[in-house]
């Protein structure tokens, strides 16, 4: 899954949250499963980027690009966490 795919899923999840009252139990479970998977992927990406940053052979422009990517993944993870929290807070 690329970053564009991630953003498209996040957008779809947000749209589902806006229609929270009309979500079936299956839709809620599927959205929560997807959101949890995406949060895990973003966490893994942030960790991998951190391990690359710790490599002393990274030059300054590369470091800036890696830190930018980390910030993007951190933001996307945060937004998907909001979706997870919203779904989990729904009454059964």
Domains of the chain: 3-88 (1.20.58)
- Here the tokens at position 76 are 């996307």
Contacts of residue 43, defined as CB under 8 A and 6 or more positions apart, other chains included, come to 77
Q: 23-33 in b/e burial notation, b at 16+ Cβ within 10 A?
A: beeeebeebbe
- Here the tokens at position 30 are 């599927």
Alpha-carbon distance 59 to 67, whole Å?
A: 12
- Here the tokens at position 64 are 């800036």
Query: Does the pLDDT at position 30 exceed 80?
Result: yes
Residue 36 has what pLDDT? 92
Can you give the pTM of this predicted structure? 0.80
Query: Does the pLDDT at position 21 exceed 70?
Result: no
- Here the tokens at position 41 are 């992927």
Give mean pLDDT, residues 28-41.
90
């Amino acid at each position: 899954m690329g970053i564009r795919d991630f953003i498209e899923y996040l957008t779809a999840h947000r749209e589902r949250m806006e229609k929270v009252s009309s979500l079936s139990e299956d839709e809620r479970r599927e959205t929560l499963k997807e959101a949890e998977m995406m949060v895990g992927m973003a966490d893994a990406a942030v960790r991998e980027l951190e391990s690359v940053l710790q490599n002393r052979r990274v030059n300054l422009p590369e470091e800036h690009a890696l830190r930018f990517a980390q910030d993007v993944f951190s933001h996307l993870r945060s937004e998907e966490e909001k979706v997870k929290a919203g779904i989990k807070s729904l009454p059964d």
